[in-house]
């Protein structure tokens, strides 16, 4: 059996699909399982030699090129090359775990007789491309409202609920393959240069706390001034505090470092470097972001700050400890506004420090 997974990106989306694919790999180790992914996120699946613990191989969809230069000859060559590579594999089954028009078009390019996705995908037109579709798992009764915590107006939810996108992905993939799949912990590939860099350059002392202050859009970002104040308190508890930055000129990371008054330092790294760094991280603290989901998947203790997105659906999933803070006033909207969501802005530094202590990690 040859199966193709389509989940092109971004980081959090790839991480959310991995538990289902890892479960399929464990259930059917003899199957060929390939994946279409953006080159930026391929280090989550394969190493520099193209080998990975979960998938046999990846096909690269150069979506950044396609978006930036949609009518260029380079884009046409890239799309046609991907189509040829997918067709050459003669897949028995293609599963769209992304649910966008782009992912549906990519999946259809493979030419498999069975192409399965959600009946209610993220983008409605994607449904037109599937040969079969399934409904998403319903939110179970009693899941909302979220339970009240002891943190003055905050909210704590478990790291896993049955309506979580990870379980929805396992249900979709399991139905497509005729199996009952339970989301499984997953391994990530190692790259020697990244492991060496993290060990000898990035990690100065332990315990290490990594702050992920970005958020994809402003509404999901806790104020940088709060992160700066938090870094000072965490530093006083004996942690080395670092801020994750995808590039040197990342405005959010640089603002947090400035607000910390020297309590936090910046670490710039790509995806492979981040994976290696998180393997040596003792605590991750941040919002609903790809690095937070990556940390949870790697069993790093996590404190996650939520606002306009629903932690019952998008909260941290993984084998480690997780505490999710969400103010009772936050409204689930997924609205991509520039300003911090009002409920998220109400979460105090004191609440976050209390959540860190509540993890019971001992040394701090």
Upper half-sphere CA count for residue 261 (Cβ side, 13 Å): 9
DSSP letter (8 states) at residue 341: P
pLDDT at 169 > cutoff 80:
yes
DSSP alpha helix (H) spans, the chain:
11-27, 63-68, 73-89, 101-109, 165-177, 192-197, 224-236, 251-259, 271-278, 290-297, 311-314, 342-345, 349-358
How many whole angstroms separate alpha carbon 171 and alpha carbon 160? 15
Upper half-sphere CA count for residue 26 (Cβ side, 13 Å): 16
Fold of 192-358: Rossmann fold (3.40.50)
Domains 2-135 and 192-358 share a fold: yes
How many whole angstroms separate alpha carbon 83 and alpha carbon 79? 6
* Crossing angle for the helix pair 290-297 and 11-27, to the nearest 10 degrees: 30
- pLDDT value at position 362? 62
Residues 6+ apart with CB under 8 A from 83: 109
pLDDT tens column, 248-285: 999 999 999 999 999 999 999 999 999 999 999 999 99
Fold of 2-135: Rossmann fold (3.40.50)
Domain definitions of the chain by residue range: 2-135, 192-358
Name the nearest CA neighbour of 304 among 193, 222, 230, 203.
222
pLDDT tens column, 102-153: 999 999 999 999 999 999 999 999 999 999 999 876 443 333 333 223 233 3
Strand pairing partners for 134?
118
pLDDT tens column, 316-355: 999 999 999 999 999 998 888 889 999 999 999 999 999 9
* Crossing angle for the helix pair 290-297 and 271-278, to the nearest 10 degrees: 40
How many whole angstroms separate alpha carbon 305 and alpha carbon 352? 8
pLDDT at 174 > cutoff 80:
yes
pLDDT tens column, 33-44: 999 999 999 999
How many whole angstroms separate alpha carbon 202 and alpha carbon 332? 36
């Amino acid at each position: 059996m040859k199966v193709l997974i389509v989940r092109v990106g971004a980081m959090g989306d790839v991480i959310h699909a991995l538990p289902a694919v890892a479960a399929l790999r464990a259930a059917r180790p003899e199957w060929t399982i390939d994946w279409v992914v953006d080159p930026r996120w391929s280090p989550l699946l394969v190493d520099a030699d193209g080998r990975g613990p979960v998938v046999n191989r990846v096909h690269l969809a150069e979506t950044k090129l396609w978006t930036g230069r949609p009518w260029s000859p380079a884009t046409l060559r890239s799309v046609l090359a991907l189509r040829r590579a997918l067709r050459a594999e003669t897949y028995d089954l293609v599963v769209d775990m992304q649910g966008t028009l782009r992912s549906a078009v990519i999946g259809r390019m493979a030419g498999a007789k069975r192409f399965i996705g959600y009946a209610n995908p993220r983008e409605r037109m994607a449904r037109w491309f599937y040969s079969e579709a399934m409904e998403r798992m319903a939110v179970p009764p009693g899941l909302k409202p979220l339970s009240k915590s002891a943190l003055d107006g905050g909210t704590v939810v478990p790291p896993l609920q049955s309506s979580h996108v990870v379980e929805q992905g396992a249900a979709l993939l399991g139905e497509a393959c005729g199996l009952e799949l339970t989301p499984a912990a997953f391994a990530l590939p190692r790259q020697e240069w990244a492991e060496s860099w993290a060990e000898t350059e990035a990690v100065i002392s332990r315990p290490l706390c990594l702050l992920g202050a970005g958020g994809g859009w402003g509404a999901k970002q806790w104020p940088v001034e709060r992160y700066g104040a938090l870094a000072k308190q965490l530093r006083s508890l004996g942690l080395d505090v670092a801020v994750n930055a995808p590039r040197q000129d990342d405005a959010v990371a640089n603002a947090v470092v400035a607000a910390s008054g020297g309590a936090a330092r910046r670490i710039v790294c790509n995806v492979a470097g981040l994976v290696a760094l998180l393997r040596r991280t003792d605590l991750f603290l941040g919002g609903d972001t790809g690095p937070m989901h990556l940390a949870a998947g790697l069993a790093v203790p996590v404190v996650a700050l939520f606002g306009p997105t629903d932690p019952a659906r998008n909260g941290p999933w993984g084998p480690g400890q997780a505490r999710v803070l969400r103010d009772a006033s936050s409204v689930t909207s997924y609205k991509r506004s520039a300003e911090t969501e009002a409920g998220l802005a109400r979460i105090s530094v004191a609440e976050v420090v209390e959540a860190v202590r509540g993890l019971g990690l001992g040394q701090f």
